[in-house]
Amino acid sequence: MKLLVIGDVVGEAGIDALHGLLRRIKRDTGADFVIVNGENAAGNGVLPRQADDIFAAGADVITLGNHAFGKQQIVPYLDSRSDVLRPANLAPQSPGRGWGIYDGPQGMRLLVMNLIGRCDMKYGPDNPFLCADRILKENEGMYDVALAEIHANATSEKLAMGYYLDGRAAAVWGTHTHVQTADERVNPKGTGYITDIGMTGPIVSVLGVRVEQSIAMFRGDLTEYFKTAEGDCAVAGALFDITRNGKCNSVTRVWERWNVR
The one-letter amino acid code at 208 reads G
Give the Cα separation of 259 and 225 in Å (integer). Answer: 26
CB neighbours of residue 245 within 10 Å: 9
Yes or no: say if 89 and 125 are a contact pair by the CB < 8 Å rule: yes
Name residue 109's beta-bridge partners. Answer: 103
Three-class SS state of 161: helix
Catalytic pick among 19, 67, 151, 176: 67
Give the Cα separation of 7 and 24 in Å (integer). Answer: 17
Residue 31, CA atoms < 13 Å, CB-side half-sphere: 26
Per the document, the length of the chain is 261
Q: Is 67 a catalytic residue?
A: yes
Which active-site residues does the annotation give?
67
